[in-house]
């Protein structure tokens, strides 16, 4: 495991925090994988999440990528901390037209205060072929609970 | 007016395209202003759009900022064109806790193929004080309808 | 003045730190303005700084924009601190062909640890007309000297 | 080979264009690898390229990363085209203190007009251990020579 873990309960803490993100329930996203430095979030296609051409809106692509990045960073943070997004950049590589989407986030560099994370968002067609629809490079920040 | 307009019906075309963004209806966003090179989108706070601390999720902040940027660019594009997002970067400046939000996008540079746009997202408290919660810098692309 | 200043000697400290940036001497850049939350750096055109079409290389545009952002942030940091760049995003808006360039950086949001800064880089033609060639949106971090 | 090549002389064209980047000679950078969709540029440490703490300035890190990204994109472009940078985002992950640096750029998505590229910049210590000091995510544009 490349990253040192300081919170032995990180998986439980990540899932509990994710369960409090009301927007994830609203859009139908689920956390499908939690490992040290890595998180996946899946989202089925739904017409109510689309832009004018019927593709998943870039902001919704960003929503799952940002949560995946934040929680990937959070897996490496100490107990009693919180994670917030500082900034992210997203390149939209292909139209987000697919039956379902998965955002896969991996930590690039974990620091005491800041963690840099990369996420790829893949679309899956009906028969399972996947293609990369977007990529995010972002910075996440660790706050002690008292600072929030 | 600093930007040359090539589509005399830009305001109608922008509003018609916006009306097709199903995600805007789902989250409750409205387009509140359309001018040459400038668009505003408003969004009331709703619990179903929040992250784990009860603030508007960064992805939803991005959703209204991205649509505002895309349509600000679209106001300057020729008739029979479509706009897609190439990429954007967002800095989250303050917790997005407010009664309502407005994304204000303005074109920085309009080109034949690419348009660079900046958007600020403000939160409004109950008595109207506003504060800047996020800023976006993004690139939008003009496609002829045949290319889509 | 919109930003509170905690270091009364910020202008001297900024200029002393800038004088230690050997790259600024190498490329011929000068700091032309230092105010609370705002810094300008000027750079004359020089063939040795160009890319394949004879324009200023995007990395050199970035070099003056990044230093301007870092020092704009530094003007608002407490004494005995240091500033480092966390990340930045640059949009290249026009070919950087001009007799001289100026990067103008202004703080958007100053925090205890992180400061968000925007910089515009202008090119000046022989008779003084200026045009915007690039814009940066970046995040700067305050370190106490002991942390460095 | 994952990317289709439309210019059989891409390696020669890339090296000829790189040789015209005067800034590369000024800073002492060399192109050390050219493949379809992939370029490496190496840069020895030099005091004249540093910021206030004696580390390679983030703008110089960006200079080699941007050229690596541009030329990685250029390997996949048709003959008689030119490449320009649209935008890039850089995260600075560690202090750029090393004996030498290498920027390694790889195309993520190659399109007719736009190409998205990622670059990692590594520092090499005296005995060869490498560490990741920065990462770039950028967008490059193909211009026909007549458009330039």
How does residue D123 score in pLDDT terms, banded at 50, 70 and 90?
A: very high
Cβ within 8 Å, pair A91-D139: yes
Cβ within 8 Å, pair B108-C93: yes
The pLDDT of residue A123 is 98
Angle at B31 between CA A60 and CA A91, to 5 degrees: 30
DSSP notation for A25-76: HHHT-EEEEEETTEEEEEEE--GGGB-TTSSBPHHHHHHHHHHHHHHHHHTT
Taking only the tens place, the pLDDT of each residue in A89-137 is: 999 999 999 999 999 999 999 999 999 999 999 999 888 799 999 999 9
Cβ within 8 Å, pair C91-B116: yes
Closest residue in D to B90 (Cα) is D89
Cβ within 8 Å, pair C21-D50: yes
The answer to whether B35 and B26 are in contact (CB under 8 A) is no
How does residue B145 score in pLDDT terms, banded at 50, 70 and 90?
A: confident
Cβ count within 10 A of residue A124:
17
Distance from CA of A65 to the nearest CA of C (A): 19
| Contact residues on chain C for D84, CB-CB shorter than 8 A | 92, 95
Segment D66-90 mean pLDDT: 97
Closest residue in B to C110 (Cα) is B93
Cβ within 8 Å, pair A50-B90: no
d(CA C14, CA C21): 11
d(CA D120, CA D111): 21
Q: Is C147 on the interface with D (CB under 8 A)?
A: no
Taking only the tens place, the pLDDT of each residue in B33-46 is: 999 999 999 999 99
d(CA B106, CA C90): 17
Q: Is A148 on the interface with C (CB under 8 A)?
A: no
pLDDT reading at B1 higher than 60: no
Closest residue in B to A87 (Cα) is B91
Across the interface, of B87, B113, B141, the residue whose CB is closest to D87 is: B87
| HSE, side-chain direction, 13 A CA sphere, residue D100 | 13
0.85 surpassed by complex ipTM: yes
Distance from CA of B110 to the nearest CA of A (A): 19
**What pTM was computed for the model?**
0.97
Q: Is A66 on the interface with B (CB under 8 A)?
A: yes
The pLDDT of residue B128 is 74
Q: Is D114 on the interface with A (CB under 8 A)?
A: no
Q: What is the mean pLDDT of chain B?
A: 96
| Contact residues on chain B for C93, CB-CB shorter than 8 A | 108-109, 116
pLDDT reading at B148 higher than 70: no
Distance from CA of A114 to the nearest CA of C (A): 9
pLDDT reading at D148 higher than 70: no
All residue ranges of chain C with pLDDT < 50 are: 1
Q: Is A84 on the interface with D (CB under 8 A)?
A: no
The pLDDT of residue A146 is 72
Taking only the tens place, the pLDDT of each residue in D97-106 is: 999 999 999 9
Q: Is C20 on the interface with A (CB under 8 A)?
A: no
| Contact residues on chain A for D109, CB-CB shorter than 8 A | 91, 93-94, 132
| Preferred mutation among B58, B116, B121 to probe A, highest tally of A CBs within 10 A | B58
Cβ count within 10 A of residue A105:
29
């Amino acid at each position: 495991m490349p990253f040192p873990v300081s919170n032995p309960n990180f998986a439980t803490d990540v899932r509990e925090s994710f369960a409090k993100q009301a927007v994830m329930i609203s859009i139908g996203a689920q956390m499908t994988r939690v490992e040290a430095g890595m998180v996946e979030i899946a989202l089925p296609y739904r017409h109510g999440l689309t832009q004018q051409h019927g593709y998943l809106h870039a902001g919704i692509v960003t929503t799952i990528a940002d949560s995946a990045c934040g929680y990937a960073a959070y897996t490496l943070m100490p107990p009693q901390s919180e994670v917030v997004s500082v900034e992210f950049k997203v390149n939209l590589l292909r139209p987000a037209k697919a039956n379902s989407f998965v955002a896969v986030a991996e930590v690039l560099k974990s620091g005491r205060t800041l963690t840099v994370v990369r996420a790829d968002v893949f679309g899956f067609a009906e028969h399972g072929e996947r293609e990369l629809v977007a990529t995010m490079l972002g910075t996440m920040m660790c706050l002690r609970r008292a600072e929030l």
